[in-house]
Structure 1
């Protein structure tokens, strides 16, 4: 059963994830995940891999995005025991894409499998489920 302390720590973990991505702080991003974590951004047409592979991918590719601002809401602990938790949260992400003056945005769900570690809750698996995207480039612009 999820406790108020667990819920607070899990919420803080997801907020730290958003801050890490938006500030492009890849060491902070690493701190959200276990060493053996797997991360799947394929629903957005992006990378799938280990934590370190995704950090390398972000470092090489995310710097071209002038700004992004992830909002994480509706955090639900779907299942929890003493050592693991399954969490779903909604995201809304306005951003500016390179070469575009207008704002773009997307939204969907983050699906996390969390593990309690000596340093607190960490994500051992993240799967992004992109539901919508507006304001992106058309194929003619590419």
Structure 2
């Protein structure tokens, strides 16, 4: 049986991963610094051609790569949040279904879908639970533009 603290911790972590998705979809990348990640976080988006590194380089990458001009609409639907608690640390695996609406140079738009897992480490801080490590794992892709290289990789 879970204690009240364990229930609270699980719900706080679940809210954290949902809030991350909200910030990404609203392109409020600077808020990741204050509310989602630890200062020393390591983030690996390389499975889909993204950055690998610390929090500041990740925020810089997101500001450059996930612009309103290129991706006017995105949605990160998180589900199957699995959390293993260990005191003030935890690990987790979160399913993400990610439709992406891409603006093309000819003015048309192209919608594609990514299926992925976030493999996370969490840490309790004075401000609450934060992600200290996040690695994306590819599950599947659908309808990606031909010029995107992660279709088979």
Task: Please report the TM-score for the alignment, with normalisation by the length of structure 1.
Answer: 0.92
Unaligned runs of 5+ in 1: none
Equivalent residue, structure 1, for 2:56: 52
Answering whether residue 38 of structure 2 is matched by residue 22 of structure 1, we say no
Q: How much has 1:83 moved relative to structure 2?
A: 1.1
C-alpha contact 1:16 1:28 (8 A) present in aligned 2: no
| Change over 3 Å in CA distance of 1:91–1:82 after alignment to 2 | same
Where in structure 1 do 4 or more consecutive aligned residues deviate above 6 Å?
none
Equivalent residue, structure 2, for 1:111: 119
C-alpha contact 1:108 1:130 (8 A) present in aligned 2: yes
Q: How much has 1:101 moved relative to structure 2?
A: 2.5
Answering whether residue 40 of structure 2 is matched by residue 36 of structure 1, we say yes
**Matches of 1:40 and 1:85, distance apart in 2:** 18
Task: Please report the TM-score for the alignment, with normalisation by the length of structure 2.
Answer: 0.85
**Matches of 1:120 and 1:47, distance apart in 2:** 26
Once the two structures are superposed, residues 67-117 of structure 1 have per-residue CA deviations (whole angstroms, 9 ceiling, x without a partner) of: 10100000001x321110001010001110221534211111001100000
Q: How much has 1:28 moved relative to structure 2?
A: 2.0
Equivalent residue, structure 2, for 1:129: 137
- Identify the structure with the greater helix proportion: 1
**Matches of 2:31 and 2:21, distance apart in 1:** 10
**For residues 97-108 of structure 1, what are the structure 2 equivalents within 5 Å?**
97-99=102-104, 101-108=109-116
Tell which deviates more after alignment, 94-103 or 55-64: 94-103
Provide the aligned C-alpha RMSD in A: 1.6
Equivalent residue, structure 2, for 1:95: 100
Unaligned runs of 5+ in 2: 149-153
Alignment: residue pair count: 139
**Matches of 2:125 and 2:136, distance apart in 1:** 23
